[in-house]
Amino acid sequence: MQDSEAHRSLHKYGTAGVLASFNNAGYLPSKNWTSGYLHDGFNISGQAMTKTILKREDTCFGCVVKCKRVVEVPGKIDSIYRGPEYESCAALGSYCGVTDLEAVAYANQLCNMYGMDTISCGATIAFAMECFESGIINTVDTDGIELNFGNGSALVKMVEKIAKKEGFGGILAEGSARAAKVIGRGSEKLLVTVKGQEFPAHMPQWKAALGLIYAINSYGADHQSSEHDHILAADPTSSERNRLAKIGLWKGSKEFRSLDEEKVRFAFNTHCFYYLMNTLCLCQFIAGPGWQIIGPSEVVELCRSGIGWDTSVYELMLIGERQVNMMRFFNSREGFTKDNDTLPEKVFIPLSGGPSDGVYLDREEFKSALEIFYKVAQWDPSNGNPMEGALRRLSLGWLLS
């Protein structure tokens, strides 16, 4: 861990340690994804948290990285609920234009108290804030709350109302996709969801291969279902690239925001590896195919030592691929098709303000990468479902009977 700059930062600043650099680069989703930059965004960063409300670090069992945060504000924020992760700082903070760290940490506390997902909760409120700002809804709809971007106290009130399904909170409690159906009036255009699930805080306009996974993933947009694009751009002699080669990715791609064929193979192969991580219950900051502390070869050693299974990278990759295909098969049985493998309109519209002003994801490049992805995965290009050959290759022929 001590040899890894990324893990030293995780220890010192938590996952929110990346927030300030994402904002400086122009890729911190802000104001319901209309911009990649938030003025004063540093105030909700891991660095700011460490300087202000951090009480101590915490850890999952036996992990030396200790990326968990424990925060406290006497009389307001109770350390028992722990501190916000990067995703929570973004969803409850920058998505909503809120730079008041205490408000974000308190909203995070409420989500933890009531058992609500911070990404979906914050993103749904951000969606409502943009509806409010654009005049689609007003204070009559919001029970008198001025739901403007940047309003920390409105954020906190709305989290509480969602948890209790109280008034307008009852509509938002169903998530933004269902709320848009109730609100109507063109609000659907403001959604940032795939398959009804709100986006995590990594932008497809920057990480295009990750955007591809957002679109195809069986349970909607997720940032922990594949490796992120920049690893493929690492130096060819780096440990990251050596690890990627172990799962068949030896070419690399310097084109950060492109979606060429190598990016598609990168998306698919690392998608399978991340699903394997789920199966093995390994933390994806610790084990993975790229930047993590241990890579594919060490995961094989762990399996050999821990469960006495004389396995290989090839065999483990098939486990991940099998899981991806079973979930895909389940979805197709329940009526999902390639029409559900989409990204919201927002990512194809130029961002506004900051260093990423004018940046968008190229719609045609995305569509063509999606078609290549189906071929790489052996999924039927006409409907996006696993083809018989793929299922039989993965010993899943029994699904067809």
Using the minimum distance from each CB to ligand SF4, give the nearer residue, 55 or 68.
Answer: 68
- Closest contact distance (angstroms) between CB of 203 and ligand SF4 is 23
- Closest contact distance (angstroms) between CB of 70 and ligand SF4 is 12
> How far is residue 91's CA from residue 95's CA, in Å, rounded to a whole number?
5
Q: Specify which residues 58 forms β-bridges with.
A: 68
Using the minimum distance from each CB to ligand SF4, give the nearer residue, 6 or 349.
Answer: 6
Query: Residue 96: which of 23, 32, 182 has the closest Cα?
Result: 32
> How far is residue 129's CA from residue 32's CA, in Å, rounded to a whole number?
8
Would you give the end-to-end CA distance of the chain in angstroms? 48
Using the minimum distance from each CB to ligand SF4, give the nearer residue, 140 or 281.
Answer: 281
- Closest contact distance (angstroms) between CB of 67 and ligand SF4 is 3
- Closest contact distance (angstroms) between CB of 56 and ligand SF4 is 13
Using the minimum distance from each CB to ligand SF4, give the nearer residue, 273 or 285.
Answer: 285
DSSP 205-239: TT-HHHHHHHHH-TTS--TTSS--GGGGGS-TTSH
> How far is residue 50's CA from residue 70's CA, in Å, rounded to a whole number?
10
Site residues for ligand SF4 per CB under 6 A:
59-60, 63, 65-68, 283, 285-286
Tell me the HSE value of 14 on the side-chain side, using a 13 A CA sphere: 30
- Closest contact distance (angstroms) between CB of 285 and ligand SF4 is 4
Phi-psi category of 380—alpha, beta or left, where left has phi over 0 and alpha has psi -120 to 50? beta
Using the minimum distance from each CB to ligand SF4, give the nearer residue, 283 or 359.
Answer: 283
Phi-psi category of 280—alpha, beta or left, where left has phi over 0 and alpha has psi -120 to 50? alpha
- Closest contact distance (angstroms) between CB of 118 and ligand SF4 is 15
DSSP 300-333: HHHHHHHH-----HHHHHHHHHHHHHHHHHHHHH
Using the minimum distance from each CB to ligand SF4, give the nearer residue, 65 or 159.
Answer: 65
- Closest contact distance (angstroms) between CB of 362 and ligand SF4 is 34
CA distances from 186 to 35, 177, 276, 291, 373 (A): 20, 12, 40, 42, 32
CA distances from 326 to 42, 227, 300, 360 (A): 42, 21, 23, 33
Residue 85: how many CB atoms within 10 A of its CB?
Answer: 20
Using the minimum distance from each CB to ligand SF4, give the nearer residue, 70 or 73.
Answer: 70
Using the minimum distance from each CB to ligand SF4, give the nearer residue, 17 or 344.
Answer: 17
- Closest contact distance (angstroms) between CB of 283 and ligand SF4 is 3
> How far is residue 339's CA from residue 370's CA, in Å, rounded to a whole number?
11
- Closest contact distance (angstroms) between CB of 286 and ligand SF4 is 5
Using the minimum distance from each CB to ligand SF4, give the nearer residue, 66 or 257.
Answer: 66
